Amino acid sequence: MNDLAFSVPSAVPPVDLPRRSEAETPSSPVERFGADAPLRLDAGIDLGPWQIAYQSYGRLNADRTNAILICHALTGDQHVANPNPLTGKPGWWETLVGPGKPIDTDRFFVVCTNVIGGCMGTTGPASMNPATGRAWALDFPLVTIRDMVRSQAMLMDRLGIERLFCVVGGSMGGMQVLQWAASYPERVFAAMPIASGARHSAQNIAFHEVGRQAVMADPDWRAGRYLDEGARPRKGLAVARMGAHITYLSEGALHRKFGRTFQDREAPTFTFDADFQIESYLRYQGISFVERFDPNSYLYVTRAMDYFDLAADYGGVLAGAFRNSPARFCVISFTSDWLFPTRESRAVVHALNAGGAKVGFVEVESDKGHDAFLLDEPEMFAAARGFLDSAASELGLG
- Positions that interact with a second copy (CB under 8 A): 3-6, 42-44, 138, 141-142, 199-203, 205-207, 209-210, 212-214, 216-219, 221, 223, 235-236, 238-239, 242-243, 246, 249, 251, 254-255, 257-260, 268, 270-272, 274-276, 278-279, 282-283, 286, 299, 303, 306-307, 309, 312, 338
> What are the Cα distances from residue 339, in Å, to 75, 307, 332, 371, 395?
15, 16, 14, 10, 34
As measured in angstroms, the least distance from the Cβ of 236 to a second copy is 6
245 catalytic per annotation: no
The amino acid sitting at 30 is V
Residue 140's H or E segment, with its range, is none
Q: Which is nearer to a second copy, 65 or 297 (CB)?
A: 297
Q: Which is nearer to a second copy, 72 or 283 (CB)?
A: 283
Task: Given the residues 147, 220, 337, 371, select the one marked as catalytic.
Answer: 337
As measured in angstroms, the least distance from the Cβ of 322 to a second copy is 20
As measured in angstroms, the least distance from the Cβ of 258 to a second copy is 5
Could you tell me how far CA 238 lies from the centroid of its own chain? Answer: 18
**∠ CA(11), CA(16), CA(20), 5° rounding?**
145
Q: Which is nearer to a second copy, 15 or 206 (CB)?
A: 206
Q: Which is nearer to a second copy, 338 or 381 (CB)?
A: 338
Dump the DSSP string for 302-342: HHHHHH-BGGGGGTT-HHHHTTT---EEEEEEETT-SSS-H
The amino acid sitting at 72 is H
As measured in angstroms, the least distance from the Cβ of 204 to a second copy is 9
Alpha helices in the chain (DSSP H): 4-7, 17-24, 145-159, 172-183, 202-217, 234-248, 251-257, 277-290, 295-307, 318-321, 342-354, 378-395
Task: Given the residues 127, 333, 370, 371, select the one marked as catalytic.
Answer: 370
Q: Residue 53 in contact with residue 29, Cβ under 8 Å? A: yes
As measured in angstroms, the least distance from the Cβ of 389 to a second copy is 36
Three-class secondary structure of residue 71 per DSSP:
strand
370 catalytic per annotation: yes
Task: Given the residues 27, 56, 171, 366, select the one marked as catalytic.
Answer: 171
200 catalytic per annotation: no
Rounded Cα distance between 317 and 195, Å, is 21
Three-class secondary structure of residue 259 per DSSP:
coil
As measured in angstroms, the least distance from the Cβ of 45 to a second copy is 9
> What are the Cα distances from residue 51, in Å, to 47, 102, 127?
10, 30, 10
Q: Which is nearer to a second copy, 170 or 286 (CB)?
A: 286
Q: Which is nearer to a second copy, 105 or 345 (CB)?
A: 345
Rounded Cα distance between 253 and 335, Å, is 12
As measured in angstroms, the least distance from the Cβ of 264 to a second copy is 16
Q: Which is nearer to a second copy, 350 or 358 (CB)?
A: 350
Rounded Cα distance between 173 and 188, Å, is 15
Q: How many other CB atoms are there within 10 angstroms of residue 269's CB atom?
A: 11
Active-site amino acid positions: 171, 337, 370
